[in-house]
Amino acid sequence: MQQAPDYLAIGHITIDRRPDGSIVPGGSALYGALLASRFGLRAAVLTRGRFDQIEDETCRELLSKFAGEIDLIVQESDEPTVFTNRTSAGRREQTIHSWAGEIDLNGLPPMWRSAKIIHLAPVAQEIDVRSAGRLSPDYFGITPQGLMRDWPSNQSGKVSIVPLRLPYEFLGRIDAMVLSSEEHSLARDEIEVVGSRGIVVITRGAAGLQITDRGQQFQLPSFSVNSRDDTGAGDVFSATLFSERSHGVGVKRAARTGQAAAAVMIQSGGPDAVPTRDQVDAFLAEESRKAQQRHNVW
């Protein structure tokens, strides 16, 4: 890609081990870029890792397929970042088995630094935001979950959540930030700063969204769907929000579209289920029809 992408996601593309033993590509950057691409944007990812030794052929095929949808810069590493995700008593438990290392933001082509939308999408402490000063997008979004993860250096690799610590001068450049309900209590200062001039969204699963838009707070209910796998749901929501807002869509409408994109995806699960714009529009139209029927009954 010679010209600047419309949407640039920066973060590790991971190898995710499922409880059944299968593996699948993952990572916030992958989910976000796929959503942007399937919404018609030129999408790209800057990542770090090693993917030539994947034993699972399905995973290899998926990575090859996705490379046809998005432009990739892969900085070399001895190994990829590998996670195991499990859900226990309604809470996600994560283990990190290997780490690809820190992404060098200086490795971006000059034109990519001015992508229309830049999504900082760390999953495992791979981005030093102090080096983000040379990035100059029209719209700057962050999903900081990976900056709030810590894990021991021994063999257990069990991930724990730690407080978010971002420089004030960096926060002043952020247009939108998305966190989970589990993370928000450990990022209160950052939420206050970003929410005073931009957008902060707290995702709460079935409980919906809590949104702060330039100091004003409101909530949106979730869509009721059967979830097969909610991995990446927050990333797909975030990518939709950032993309819609960068094109001037109102906050509530952009957030609702993001919820619809996540709702479509989790019914099947995995990066291959990241929806297209047409699928999301069809879902929203069906939900509107159902709402009208309920109204007519009353």
CATH of the domain at 97: 3.40.1190.20
Is 229 part of any domain?
yes
Is 2 part of any domain?
no
* pLDDT band, residue 111 (cuts 50/70/90): very high
Is 233 part of any domain?
yes
**Inter-CA distances, 288 with 111, 206, 223, Å:** 41, 19, 11
* pLDDT band, residue 53 (cuts 50/70/90): confident
- Beta carbons of 257 and 246 less than 8 angstroms apart: no
Per-residue pLDDT at 1 = 53
Mapped onto helix, strand or coil, the DSSP state of residue 249 is coil
Structure tokens at 33: 């870029």
List the one residue out of 109, 102, 113, 108 whose CA is nearest residue 140.
Answer: 113
- Beta carbons of 123 and 145 less than 8 angstroms apart: yes
pTM of the predicted model, to two decimals? 0.95
Give the tens place of pLDDT for each residue, 266-293. Answer: 999 899 999 999 999 999 999 999 888 8
Per-residue pLDDT at 297 = 60
What residue numbers bound the domain in which 100 lies?
7-291
Q: At what angle do helices 277-297 and 251-266 cross, to 10 degrees?
A: 100
Q: Residue 298: is its pLDDT beyond 60? A: no
Is 219 part of any domain?
yes
Is 259 part of any domain?
yes
Domain count, the chain: 1
Is 265 part of any domain?
yes
Is 1 part of any domain?
no
Is 32 part of any domain?
yes
Edge to edge, the sheet with strand 176-180 lists 71-76, 43-49, 7-10, 117-120, 139-142, 176-180, 199-203, 209-213, 216-220
The rounded distance, in Å, linking the Cα atoms of 236 and 263 is 10
Give the tens place of pLDDT for each residue, 210-263. Answer: 999 999 999 999 999 998 888 999 999 999 999 999 999 999 999 999 999 999
The 10 Å Cβ neighbour count of residue 14 is 28
Structure tokens at 58: 């399905």
